[in-house]
Amino acid sequence: MLQTVSKAFFHILAGSKTLKRTASRYGMRPRGFARRFIAGESVEEAIEAARQIEAAGLLVTLDHLGEAVGSVAEADAATRAYIGLLDRIASAGIERNVSLKLTQLGLTVDRATCVDNLRRILDAATAKSFFVRIDMEDSPYTAVTLEIFETIWQLGYRNAGVVLQSCVRRSEEDAAHMNALGARVRLVKGAYKEPTKVAFQAKSDVDAAFLRIMKVLLMGGHYPAIATHDSAMIAATRAYAAERAVAPSAFEFQMLYGIRRDLQASLARDGFRLRVYVPFGREWFPYFMRRLGERPANATFVLRSLLSERRA
């Protein structure tokens, strides 16, 4: 209940232009409050963060933050930025794995343009052996995201995967469908405030669905990613994998940059694959607000550092 209210509250705040301006001014300074969750505004900073994560024995996926662009020109710029990012990653020698959002590629402007942009990125990614994860956004985009994924899958792209949210009621069925297709799925709880009609509201229901889908993916999926910081979900996944003799190399855990680094390290020590999602770029505000909404305690820490920044 608290989490639902908190998500809704931070969703409203995320729309505030004043707050965005203030946050953007202070958040990414050298010791700014947003740096806990965002690797930096530049590609160089993201690559440096990725190198450190890899040196600690963890895997990475880089996300050039951005969403809901408002024009074909902006979508084109985001597409070119992603293609440039692939080059930078390849020459830096870090793992070739990125995540992106379809509204960043123009989904809300024109669906055909978005598919063209995605194909431009996937063509470049194929040539350089990258894996591209298509993030899942809020529920107005669930069906269209999965449809576009299936279109590119039918076109023969095999270096892409999707995300399913356990809060979304249809996800269990989608997981079975993705398994049948042979596609790689990242399972998450879901970061958006959603209506009751499409999504479970109670944490206990979201968690129960997470566990059901985790089992569907572990038994019939294709190298699934179990993406959560919830130690109960992780313990249940480990127990189920052991019970069903699913090898630790047949799936991976994923967590977000800056969250539960202790748990990230301990899973890697125990021989599990752990991928860190490394977000970077100038458009970090909506992503940052979703992280605050998940854990209201984070907001206290931000307020404190914002007040001391303004006094300085």
Ligand X SMILES: Cc1cc2nc3c(=O)[nH]c(=O)nc-3n(C[C@H](O)[C@H](O)[C@H](O)COP(=O)(O)OP(=O)(O)OC[C@H]3O[C@@H](n4cnc5c(N)ncnc54)[C@H](O)[C@@H]3O)c2cc1C
Q: Which of 259, 265, 268, 306 binds ligand X (CB under 6 A)?
A: 259
Contacts with 4 (C-beta within 8 Å, 6 or more apart), sequence order: 193, 201
Q: Within positions 78 to 107, which residues make up the interface with ligand X, using CB under 6 A?
A: none
Q: Which of 145, 237, 298, 305 binds ligand X (CB under 6 A)?
A: 298
294 contributes a contact to ligand X by CB under 6 A: yes
171 contributes a contact to ligand X by CB under 6 A: no
Tokens of 50: 């990725």
Question: CB of residue 255 vs ligand X: minimum separation in angstroms?
Answer: 5
The DSSP secondary-structure symbol of 131 reads: E
Task: Count Cβ atoms below 10 Å from residue 77 Cβ, excluding itself.
Answer: 14
Question: CB of residue 143 vs ligand X: minimum separation in angstroms?
Answer: 15
**Rg (alpha carbons) of the chain, rounded to whole number:** 19
Question: CB of residue 198 vs ligand X: minimum separation in angstroms?
Answer: 13
Q: Within positions 108 to 167, which residues make up the interface with ligand X, using CB under 6 A?
A: 135-136, 163, 165
Candidates 35, 96, 135, 184; catalytic one: 135
**Rounded Cα gap, residues 142 and 101, in angstroms:** 12
110 is catalytic: no
119 is catalytic: no
CA dihedral 279, 281, 166, 125 (to 10 degrees): -80
Closer residue to ligand X (CB): 104 or 228: 228
Contacts with 83 (C-beta within 8 Å, 6 or more apart), sequence order: 120, 121, 124
Nearest to 107 by CA among 146, 133, 80, 81: 146
Q: Which stretch binds ligand X (CB under 6 A): 18-26, 81-89, 139-147, 289-297?
A: 289-297
- Binding marks (x or -) toward ligand X, 213..242, rule CB under 6 A? --------------xxxx------------
Candidates 186, 273, 275, 291; catalytic one: 186
Closer residue to ligand X (CB): 150 or 230: 230
**Rounded Cα gap, residues 166 and 26, in angstroms:** 34
289 contributes a contact to ligand X by CB under 6 A: no
Closer residue to ligand X (CB): 182 or 301: 301
Strand ranges (E), the chain: 59-64, 97-100, 131-134, 160-165, 184-188, 225-227, 252-256, 274-280
* Longest Cα separation, the chain: 57
Q: Which residues are catalytic?
A: 135, 186
Q: Tell me which residues touch ligand X (CB under 6 A).
A: 135-136, 163, 165, 188-192, 227-230, 254-256, 259-260, 277, 291, 294-295, 298
